[in-house]
Each structure stands twice: as structure tokens, then as C-alpha cells.
Amino acid sequence: MSSFIAYTLIKHVHITLALASVTLFCVRFYMSLNYPANLTKTWARVLPHCIDTLLLSLGIYLMVTMKLWPSEQPWLLVKLCALVVYIVLGSVAIKYGKTVKVKKVAGAFALLTYGYMINVALSHQPLVIL
């Protein structure tokens, strides 16, 4: 397989996993607000971590393959920082938020952060405004 085909395939799998990840976030967020007991189901606890691990692994693979380092590419550094913010907000929205209002606000900001990461990834510009 040529390196271009391999890169294209991995990039598309990475994008697909990103969409699966945010879809699962939305499902789990909805469940946390309406059916919190369902969050204890095995698929709700395990599947998101599997998808996110593959997503991050492929992202690192693409970064190393293309020799794109966060120290040299501001957009990549901003995207990685936004990823940390997304994870923290998502954790508050699904698990650690004490009230429904806190969960809803954290969930909304998590989705805005996700949208920002997508915009940065597509534009390679760290100052993209939604």
C-alpha cells in the first residue's frame, strides 16, 4: 500500500472515530440527564474509552508520520489544549456535575469546544472563531 493511500485511510478512520466519539458523548450526555442509571451499562463505560484511545492513537500516528510537532505548529498545540478542555468539560457534563444546570452548561461548552477543535483541524489556524 502506498504511503499516500495509507495516510488517507488513517486520516479518514481518525475522522470517523472523531464523529463516533462526539456521537457517543451526546448519547451519554443525554443519558446522564435523563437516565443516569444507564451509564453503568458496560457499553457506556467501555466503548467510549476504546474509541477515544484509537482516536488519540491515530492522531499521534498522523502527527509523527507527518512530522507535525505541537512546538512547531501552533494550531496543533491549540487543538491538543482544546482536547484537554473538552475532556474536562465532558467529565463534568456526564459524571461530576452536581446539578442539572451545571451538567447542561458543561455539556454545551464541551460541544462548542469540540466544534472549535474541528475548525482548527480543518483550517490549521488556532484563532478560528466558530
Domain count, the chain: 1
Work out the pLDDT band at 1, boundaries 50, 70, 90. low
> What's the pLDDT at 130?
57
Within a domain: 103: yes
| Whole-number Å distance between alpha carbons of 33 and 6 | 40
Within a domain: 57: yes
Within a domain: 39: yes
Q: How far is CA 42 from CA 37, 57, 80, in A?
A: 12, 22, 28
Within a domain: 119: yes
Within a domain: 63: yes
pTM value is: 0.90
Within a domain: 130: no
Residue 67 has pLDDT above 60, yes or no: yes
Within a domain: 54: yes
Q: Which residue has the cell 474509552?
A: 49
Domain range for residue 84? Answer: 3-123
Within a domain: 129: no
Instruction: Say if residues 115 and 129 touch (Cβ distance below 8 Å).
Output: no
